[in-house]
């Protein structure tokens, strides 16, 4: 019995050592052994991406809450303007980096901006050129704030194109 046990134990040890040494066995001479860590640029991009997702999710949720009646018209009017501006700046902040880093445009970026519920157009309390474009028609059936869908992102007119 003992010999079998010792044999199995030795086998286990060998397997484990191999597993641990595997990366070195696969790449005895690695060109790039650097562990990826976000540098300043990447950290900023992450921060901005999170901010963008956060704001867009907030917008969707605000729309939904307004539709279900949780948020009154007055509250909605007060909140949606600043949120939209924040969304615009968050998206704009990401764009130049996207172009600089050759990020592939995600498919989500081509979806039109969610249609707002009918209400008087908010007065631009934060005048910021360029402001958000009018919602692209047609207003499609608006799904509820959805963690399962990528937040739709408007096509921001780039600098130089007509606002």
Indicate which single residue of 129, 137, 148, 160 sits in contact with other proteins (rule: CB under 8 A). 148
Torsions phi, psi for 72 (to 5 deg): -75, 165
Q: Does residue 43 belong to the site contacting other proteins (CB under 8 A)?
A: yes
Indicate which single residue of 71, 88, 132, 156 sits in contact with other proteins (rule: CB under 8 A). 71
For the chain, give the number of residues. Answer: 163
Indicate which single residue of 46, 119, 135, 157 sits in contact with other proteins (rule: CB under 8 A). 46
Q: How far is CA 143 from CA 53, 113, 120, 153, in A?
A: 16, 12, 22, 14
- Give residue 51's Cα distance to chain centre: 8
Whether the CB-CB separation of 115 and 142 falls below 8 Å is answered with yes
Q: Which stretches of the chain bind other proteins, using CB under 8 A?
A: 1-2, 5-6, 8-9, 12-13, 15-16, 19-24, 27, 29-38, 42-43, 45-47, 49-51, 53-54, 57-58, 61-62, 64-65, 67-72, 74-75, 79, 101, 106, 108, 141-151
């Amino acid at each position: 019995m003992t010999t079998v046990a010792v044999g199995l134990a030795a086998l286990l040890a060998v397997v484990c050592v191999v597993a641990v040494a595997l990366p070195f066995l696969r790449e005895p001479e690695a060109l790039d052994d650097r562990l990826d860590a976000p540098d300043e640029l990447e950290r900023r991009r992450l921060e901005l991406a999170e901010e963008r997702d956060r704001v867009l999710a907030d917008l969707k949720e605000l729309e939904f809450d307004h539709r279900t009646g949780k948020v009154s018209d007055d509250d909605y009017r007060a909140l949606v303007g600043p949120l939209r501006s924040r969304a615009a700046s968050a998206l704009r902040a990401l764009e130049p980096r996207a172009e600089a880093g050759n990020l592939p445009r995600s498919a989500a970026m081509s979806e039109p901006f969610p249609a707002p519920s009918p209400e008087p157009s908010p007065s631009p309390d934060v005048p910021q050129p360029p402001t958000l474009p009018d919602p692209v028609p047609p207003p499609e059936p608006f799904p509820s704030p959805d963690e399962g869908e990528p937040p739709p992102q408007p096509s921001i007119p780039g600098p130089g194109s007509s606002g």
